[in-house]
Structure 1
């Protein structure tokens, strides 16, 4: 057998999962545990590698290990059952990476994507998950503070859990479209002015 034929055979061989797992850790800088889940199914690993070319590999690995695997398991599906395109998943993860949707909203979109593949941007609109504008969030925070003076007094008196109560009221006012981390940041800033 000549060298060219040997090389062709090598190229056609499938990379063993344990070697692929190690390569993913080294090549993409992801955690071993994530790589282990990713290589559990060949199609899953192939999809990850396509996505990781376009999105932060660590973000992609976290989503593959936790969110995507959870959604597939809940729906009793395997990677072979995935109908959405790599581009659709890339678009969703880029929206999360660029803070167009929160991770929580992203998970809702992912569920829809698994059920019935569509453009993630259209799914965000259809589900009413467009991010709230910063100015609108500021207004909602001020309104929640105005309406919940007892919770404000409790927070200023040292009851830190009151902050979560007020944050919940902001979420109600924004229809769940605000990032909880941004709400807490704004709330702390506004309440600091009152102390």
Structure 2
């Protein structure tokens, strides 16, 4: 978040950010107060205004900072070349690892999007759409090369992101599955999704009720 003249320094700013993340993660935006935040950092409430104007700006800057970090990390991780499977594999591996490592930021980014005022909401949604577009580009590339069988790459991207991002709500270090096992399981499911039967292929017509009754009747 931007530093305002007269603040006491970046260490205090980082302490405010960490404490705010914990409070938002534990209590939610509506229940968190600036008095709580100041108390968690050990400063006077008035000192917070050296770093942001109000609670809404604090939330917005936290989420925007997270989205900027997410974009930068993804750009560094993606393969500039390679086939569709290799590119999608790298995306999935990155997304899962990032969400495991930063569960608080990810959870707040999703759960508190509704708490943003309209202008701030639109700015974050645009950043999320840019992230989604990078996955869609990979899926479209794989479809063009014949590796992926997808009728609607945008719908597939939404499904993949919804599945992968949910990890921040249930994964716990030291649980039944290791990070590597979670990553490999997710990767297998995603690759199965994109290489399976596409929606443009018609499903077999279901049997008529009379036919089911005849085939299922016992022979006497």
TM-score normalised to structure 2 length: 0.27
Relative contact order (C-alpha < 8 Å, sep 6+): which is higher?
2
Structure having the higher Rg: 2
